[in-house]
Amino acid sequence: MMRNTEERRLTVAELLPACEELLAQGGRMSMAWGWFPGSAAREICYLAAPGPRRPFVLWRCGVTDETLPSLAVRAPALSWHEREISDLCGIPFSGHPKGHPLVLHAGAEPVTPPLNPAYPREVGMPFTRRRAHAPDVAGSDIQELPFGPVRADVTESAQFLFFYLGEHILHYLPRLFFKHRGMEKRFAGLTAELGVVLAERVSGVGSVAHALAYCQAVEAAGGCEVPPRARWLRVLMAELERLYNHLHYFGHLADTTTLKVGQAEGKLLEERVKQINAITGSRFLRNLLVPGGLRRDIHLYAGLATELGRLQKDVNAYLKQLAHTGSYLDRLITTGVLDREMALAQGATGPVARASGLDEDVRRDHAYAAYADMDMDVRVPLRTAGDANARAEVRAEEIEVSFALLLRLLVRLPAGEVRAACQPAASAEGLGWSESPRGALFYAVHFDEQGKLARVKIRSPSFSNWRVFQYTVRDSNMMDYAINEASFGLTIAGCDR
C-alpha cells in the first residue's frame, strides 16, 4: 500500500474508462511508471490527481503478456511516460499516437528490459548503428538542421532537429537522453539514508527539491514524524534554492536578448544567494536533508534577515530595469505562446503552467514541510498570455513570494530537535512531492523485503516541460528559438535522469 495516496486496483480493461472518468471530472494524470515487484511479475502504476487539496490516487495494474491500451490517446501528458515504460520495462501499449522509442536511441538492443532486476550488470547494451526516427517533411525548399548533441558553451547534451523554410520553423523534434544515467535503477539495493545522496545529484540545480521529495516519500513509507524545526528549515532551503534558480534564469534570459550587462547582474545576484546558502555548508544546499529531518541544525546568524532585505532591494531594482527595457520586452512578448488548453492537455507544470493560466502549486494545493504551518498562504502568481514574457513575469513575482516566506520564517522559526528516527518497514511504499523552481516534482519509493530500495520513480518537471516545449516551437522562427527555450527554464539532466 503506497502511503500518501488513495489506492485502486484496476484490470487492464478498466484503465481507459477510469482515465476518461477522471478527466471528465476535471482531474489530471500526473505520471506513470512500471516496475518488477517479483522475479517475473510486472506492474504498472498511474498517479492520478483529482484536483487541488484532494488526495492523489494511485492506480495499480498487473501486467502479463497482454498489451496495455494507451491512455495517451485521452491524456496526452502520459505520452512520454508510456514510451519510457515501453523502453525500460518492455511493456507495450496499443494505439499509442507516437510509439517510437523515447529513452533508448535508435539501434539500442537491450538483452532484457533495462529496469528488470535480472538485467546482467556486467553486460553492456548491444548497439547497432541505425537511422533515428524523423518525421516525413516534404518540399524542395525545406531545410533540415540537426543541431547537437555537442553544442557550444557548457550546455548539456541534446540534439534538436529543425525543419524550416527561410526563418520559419515547420517542424521541431527534440532528441534527449544522450547521457541518460539510469538514476532510477541506481537506487535499487540502497538504504533509505544512502538514497538521499543520490537524489541530491539527479539534477545539480535542484538538489533540495529532489532530496525533499525523496525524503518525504521515505517518511510517508515509514510513517515518520519530522520535527517542526526541521520542517521549517526545509522550507528555508527550498526557497533559497528557488531564489538562486530564478535569478540564474533572468541572467540567462537577458543573455539570449543580448543584454550582456543584464546577464552579468543576474548572475551576480545569483552568486549572492549562493553565498547565503553557505550557512548550510554547501552553496548548492547539499548533504543536509535526510529521511526524518536534517543531519544537523543550521546556524542562522543575527544579520541574515537584514542581508536578505538588502538583497531583495537590489533584486527588485534589477527586475524593474529589465521590465522597462524595450529591446528585452520586444523579444519576449508573443514569443513561444503556450495557451491554457495545450498546457493542461500536455502536462505543463510550474511557472510554465502558471504563465498559461493554470492555477496550481503543490506548496499550496498539497502543502508539505512547513508550508501548512506558517499561517500564511503561498501566493501563486498567474498570467494568461502564455508567452515568454508571461513566464518571466511569473518568476519575477515568485521571487517576491520567496523573500516574503523567508523573512516571515526567520521571525517565527521554532526551536527543538531537527531529526527523528526513520526506517521504513519491509515492502513499505510511499509518495513524496515538492514544488521545485521548475514545477511539481514527485518521488515514488518501493522497498523490498529486506528494507532496501527496490524501485524509485522520479517525475521531474523538466521531463514534463520538455515535452510541452516542442509545441511552442512549431510555426515560430529560428531567431526566437534561443529566447523561447530560455524562457522555459529547462534542464536536460532533470529530464534524462
Residue 22 contacts by C-beta under 8 Å, 6 or more apart in sequence? 28, 29, 48, 50
Query: What confidence tens digit (pLDDT) does each residue in 232-268 have?
Result: 999 999 999 999 999 999 999 999 999 999 999 999 9
pLDDT beneath 50: ranges in the chain: none
Amino acid at 118: A
Residue 365 buriedness (CB in 10 A; 0-12 / 13-18 / 19+):
middle
Give the pLDDT score at 117: 86
Question: What count of residues does the chain have?
Answer: 497
Which residues have a Cβ under 8 Å from the Cβ of 399 and sit 6 or more positions away?
242, 243, 246, 247, 315, 319
Classify residue 326 by burial, with Cβ atoms within 10 Å: 0-12, 13-18, 19+: exposed
Cα separation, 107 vs 90, whole angstroms: 16
Q: Which pLDDT score, from 0 to 100, does residue 147 have? A: 86
- Domain architecture of the chain: domains with CATH: 1-118 (3.30.460.80), 185-496 (1.10.645.10)
Query: What is the distance between the alpha carbons of residues 75 and 92, in angstroms, rounded to a whole number?
Result: 17
First to last CA, the chain: 26
For residues 291 and 215, is the Cβ–Cβ distance under 8 A? yes
The pLDDT of residue 39: 63
HEC per residue, the chain: CEECCEEEECCHHHHHHHHHHHHHCCCEEEEEEEECCCCCCEEEEEEEECCCCCCCEEEEEEECCCCEECHHHCCHHHHHHHHHHHHHHCCCEECCCCCCCCCCCCCECCCCCCCCCCCCCCCCCCECCCCCCCCCCCCCCCEEEEECCCCCCCCCCCEEEEEEECCEEEEEEEECCCCCCCHHHHCCCCCHHHHHHHHCCCCHHHHHHHHHHHHHHHHHHHCCCCCHHHHHHHHHHHHHHHHHHHHHHHHHHHHHCCCHHHHHHHHHHHHHHHHHHHHHCCCCCCCCEECCEECCCCCCCCCHHHHHHHHHHHHHHHHHHHHCCHHHHHHHCCCCCCCHHHHHHHCCCHHHHHCCCCCCCHHHHCCCCCCCCCCCCCCCCCCCCCCHHHHHHHHHHHHHHHHHHHHHHHHHCCCCCCECCCCCCCCCEEEEEEEECCEEEEEEEEECCCCCEEEEEEECHHHHHHHHHHHHHCCCEHHHHHHHHHHHCCCHHHHHC
CA distances from 389 to 149, 154, 343, 393 (A): 28, 25, 16, 6
Please report, as a single letter, which amino acid is at residue 425. Answer: A
pLDDT at 154: 66
Three cell numbers written together for 217: 516519500
Check if the beta carbon of residue 446 is closer than 8 Å to that of residue 454: yes
Say how far apart CA 441 and CA 453 lie, in whole Å. 19
Contact criterion met (CB below 8 Å) for 97 and 70: yes
Q: Rounded CA gap, 410 and 425, in Å?
A: 36
Residues 6+ away with beta carbon under 8 Å from 277:
240, 241, 244, 283, 284, 285
- For residue 369, CA distances in Å to 199, 205, 233, 235, 400 come to 18, 20, 9, 7, 20
Determine whether 200 is exposed, middle or buried from the number of CB atoms within 10 Å of its CB (0-12, 13-18, 19+): buried
Strands 439-447 and 429-436: antiparallel
| pLDDT, tens digit, 9 for 90 and up, residues 272-330 | 999 999 999 999 999 999 999 999 999 999 899 999 999 999 999 999 999 999 999 99
